[in-house]
Amino acid sequence: MNAPFFKYGLFNDEVSLIVAVIIGIGFGFFLERAGFGNARKLAAQFYFTDMTVLKVMFTAIVTAMLGVYFLSVIGFVDLSLVYLTPTFLWPQIVGGLLLGFGFVIGGYCPGTSCVSASTGRIDGWVYLIGIFAGVFAFGEMFPLMETFYNSTPMGQQTLSQLTGLPYGLLVFAVVVMALGAFMAAEWGEKVMAGKGRKTQ
Q: Whose Cβ is closer to another protein: residue 47's or residue 187's?
A: 47
Q: Which of 62, 175, 188, 192 binds another protein (CB under 8 A)?
A: 62
Residues 6+ apart with CB under 8 A from 90: 148, 151, 152
Q: Report d(CA 66, CA 51) in Å as an integer.
A: 22
Its sign, for the CA torsion 143, 144, 148, 149, is negative
Asked if 122 interacts with another protein (CB under 8 A), we say yes
Strand, coil or helix: 153: strand
- Which residues within the stretch 156-175 sit at the binding site for another protein (CB under 8 A)? 156-162, 167, 170-171, 174
Q: Whose Cβ is closer to another protein: residue 23's or residue 193's?
A: 23
- Which residues within the stretch 2-61 sit at the binding site for another protein (CB under 8 A)? 3-7, 13, 16-35, 37-41, 43-47, 52, 55-61
DSSP string over 71-109: HHHTTSB-GGGS--PPEEHHHHHHHHHHHHHHHHHHS--
DSSP string over 24-69: HHHHHHHHHHTTTT-HHHHHHGGGTS--HHHHHHHHHHHHHHHHHH
Shortest spacing between CB 26 and another protein, in angstroms = 4
Q: Which of 9, 12, 73, 113 binds another protein (CB under 8 A)?
A: 113
Shortest spacing between CB 176 and another protein, in angstroms = 14
Q: Which of 73, 84, 176, 179 binds another protein (CB under 8 A)?
A: 84
Asked if 143 interacts with another protein (CB under 8 A), we say yes
Size of the residue set binding another protein (CB under 8 A): 131
Shortest spacing between CB 6 and another protein, in angstroms = 5
Shortest spacing between CB 135 and another protein, in angstroms = 4
**Cross-strand pairs, 88:** 153
Q: Largest Cα–Cα distance of the chain, in whole Å?
A: 56
Task: Show the site string, 86-105: x = touches another protein by CB under 8 A, - = not.
Answer: xxxx-xxxxxxxxxxxxxxx
Residues in the chain: 200
Q: Which of 67, 166, 168, 180 binds another protein (CB under 8 A)?
A: 67
Asked if 177 interacts with another protein (CB under 8 A), we say no
Q: Quick one: which of 70, 84, 74, 46 has its CA closest to 192?
A: 46
